[in-house]
């Protein structure tokens, strides 16, 4: 089960990420070319902020450093934003930015993932 954890609005520091106008399709596609990152995309698609707990993200079988690597790839591609609050990090999909930059792309991708098994989990 994946649980989201809310960070207060405006709290913390936003990690470096590309501006919405600078998000490149080739980098987004590269980032989504990995099953773990597709799994994370589906989780983040709810629109909520999630902490970086491997267990809560359904990735307990991976080392923390591996999960961090996947999150960094997604952030640097412009898919997600990460806010640091104290020692915690909260990740959220940049849905509005992605929809503005690539209209229909994200919705089409998420629709095509429905019913697919990713990381051993069938996506409803």
Classify 37 as helix, strand or coil: helix
For residue 116, what pLDDT is reported? 67
What does each of the 124 residues of the chain score in pLDDT, given as a tens digit? 333 444 445 578 999 999 999 999 999 999 999 999 999 999 999 989 999 888 889 898 999 999 999 999 999 999 999 999 998 999 999 999 999 999 999 999 999 888 766 655 444 4
CB 50 within 8 A of CB 90: yes
For residue 114, what pLDDT is reported? 81
CB 76 within 8 A of CB 26: no
CB atoms inside a 10 Å sphere around CB 81 = 17
**Cα gap 100→45, rounded to integer Å:** 16
Q: For 75, phi and psi rounded to 5 degrees? A: -65, -45
Q: Are strands 88-93 and 80-85 parallel, antiparallel or unpaired?
A: antiparallel
């Amino acid at each position: 089960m994946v649980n989201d954890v809310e960070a207060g609005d405006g709290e913390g520091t936003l990690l470096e990420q590309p501006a919405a106008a600078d998000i490149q399709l080739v980098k987004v596609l590269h980032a989504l070319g990995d099953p773990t990152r597709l799994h994370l995309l589906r989780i983040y698609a709810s629109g909520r902020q999630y902490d970086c707990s491997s267990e809560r993200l359904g990735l307990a079988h991976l080392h923390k450093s591996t999960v961090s690597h996947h999150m960094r790839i997604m952030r640097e591609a412009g898919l997600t934003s990460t806010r640091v609050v104290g020692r915690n990090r909260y990740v959220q999909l940049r849905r509005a930015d992605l929809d503005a930059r690539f209209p229909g792309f994200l919705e089409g991708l998420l629709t095509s993932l429905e019913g697919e098994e990713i990381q051993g989990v069938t996506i409803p």
